[in-house]
Chain A
């Protein structure tokens, strides 16, 4: 337990011991990816359904918040709420469509969805500004009555917002998994026929997992938009989805801590390699290390280490 307390203290104090702003930036990105990986893990790790369109939920969240705050000049907090709500709604549609669709067909459905959304973002010039993107997304401010307004413009301030979001998502996942709802999700992964035969409405729980997962990915998108202050169709890139899948699988799918550990490692690794070697070696080493992790720890980093402890 004391080990956890120390780890927590180190994480909370990060802006005070990380001097290099670029390192802090990497850590913030790791936090945003942790939210995304936790979100994907809910589907991939617990219900066993692979969403390869998860970047769509991320991107929808980013655009929802960016558009509302830039075009309508709404508060970024409402923007963040919309960043959760809009992808969650689309997740509900996907979930309903997937009524009878599982496995490879679910994968194809999510890929197609991401493809369509991405094309819309490029071509609906009036709304999204097309490939030029939306600049000038406002910074988030905390204005409590009677207190001076605190801007989260600085990296160290934003770090705490992202950290809070990671904690919130982690606790939400933990609360769901350690309940009847979580067991229903896992039952869907383990044996869908048996789950139905003991009265679990499998479709209901798949829709539920998709909605929560999409909302969470959207939150990650909203956080990204207000951090980089710029949103373009690049948020829908397939690379984002692949990165999320890598983090979940290498970290340990179906575990609570796995996606977070995976997100930190696989955000920091490319940066560390960039510092160590030339760019040619950077990607090759990244690939080799990833294969090594999957080869020696097929169940993921967290389950493998947890067994050794």
Chain B
């Protein structure tokens, strides 16, 4: 069963095609990776799927429902939650506050309740704080819960981003280069976390540069190059694919565009 179906997705900026009509799907309960050289269109694909960018053409379906052109918060409410390539947090808030903010969709208090029914607010706050503690422990930031996000080390910040995304109760988690800038041991821990997330029933869709990370955890690998899908298969098959090797080692034509 596919949670995500992409058909003929194209994004053009003027004359440049960032995505030139790609079709693929992401199967439920898998870790699927999207790889490719710089400028291949990976992040563009993520932006369109999560509503941060408009597609020029094509369709995005989630669980059989068309979500093309929806606003990001509605897409998130359906259970598609993403992280960003460049660290994106609420910098002036603490770890706990970051995760509590991420828990927005798990709460229901509105203005009237907040003003008039403090009992219900306290109840919800207690419940959300328990949820937050679980998320923080899961990503391994238990000792840092009261630290400001901007005071965390880079690796910790990336873990917190993951925590904020998990707080939003994703069914499909889209991670944009979660391992970038991490040390080797941090990456190994991250790979373990991603596997655990998947085992908890959350489908993971990953954009990543680090081949060892990708090959170690992916059930399936999609390869983009110059806005087109050039390979789709298991990690080992993709690694042997001549078109992929050419794209990565470069015949010069489209290296690091």
The interface of chain A, by Cβ under 8 A from chain B, is 172, 175-176, 178-184, 186-187, 190-191, 193-202, 208, 212
Beta-carbon contact of A183 and B76 below 8 Å: no
Beta-carbon contact of A186 and B101 below 8 Å: yes
User: Quick check: is B40 within 8 A (CB to CB) of the other chain?
Assistant: no
User: Quick check: is B110 within 8 A (CB to CB) of the other chain?
Assistant: yes
User: Quick check: is B216 within 8 A (CB to CB) of the other chain?
Assistant: no
Beta-carbon contact of A199 and B111 below 8 Å: no
B157–chain A nearest beta-carbon distance, Å:
12
Residues of A within 8 A of B188 (CB): none
Beta-carbon contact of A190 and B105 below 8 Å: no
Beta-carbon contact of B115 and A199 below 8 Å: no
The interface of chain B, by Cβ under 8 A from chain A, is 50, 52, 71-74, 76-77, 81-82, 84, 88-93, 97, 100-102, 104-105, 107-111, 113-115, 118, 121, 124-125, 128, 164-165, 167-168
Select one of A180, A195, A208 contacting B107, CB under 8 A.
Answer: A180
Select one of B84, B97, B128 contacting A193, CB under 8 A.
Answer: B84
A199 and B91 in contact, given A194-B84, A212-B111 (Cβ under 8 angstroms):
no
Of chain A, the residue at the smallest CB distance from B116 is A175
Main secondary structure, interface of A, reads helix
Beta-carbon contact of A198 and B90 below 8 Å: no
Residues of B within 8 A of A201 (CB): 71, 73-74
Select one of B71, B88, B107 contacting A194, CB under 8 A.
Answer: B88
Select one of B81, B114, B115 contacting A180, CB under 8 A.
Answer: B114
Select one of A175, A186, A187, A196 contacting B114, CB under 8 A.
Answer: A175
A193 and B111 in contact, given A183-B100, A198-B104, A198-B164 (Cβ under 8 angstroms):
no
Query: Considering the chains assembled together, what is the distance between the CA atoms of A136 and B165 in angstroms?
Result: 58
Residues of B within 8 A of A179 (CB): 109, 113-114, 121, 124-125
Of chain A, the residue at the smallest CB distance from B105 is A199
Select one of A175, A182, A197, A212 contacting B76, CB under 8 A.
Answer: A197
- 28 A-B residue contacts at CB 8 Å? A175-B114, A175-B115, A175-B118, A179-B114, A179-B125, A180-B108, A180-B128, A181-B109, A181-B114, A183-B100, A183-B101, A183-B104, A186-B90, A187-B101, A191-B88, A191-B89, A197-B52, A197-B72, A197-B76, A197-B82, A198-B81, A198-B105, A199-B168, A200-B101, A201-B71, A201-B73, A208-B111, A212-B111
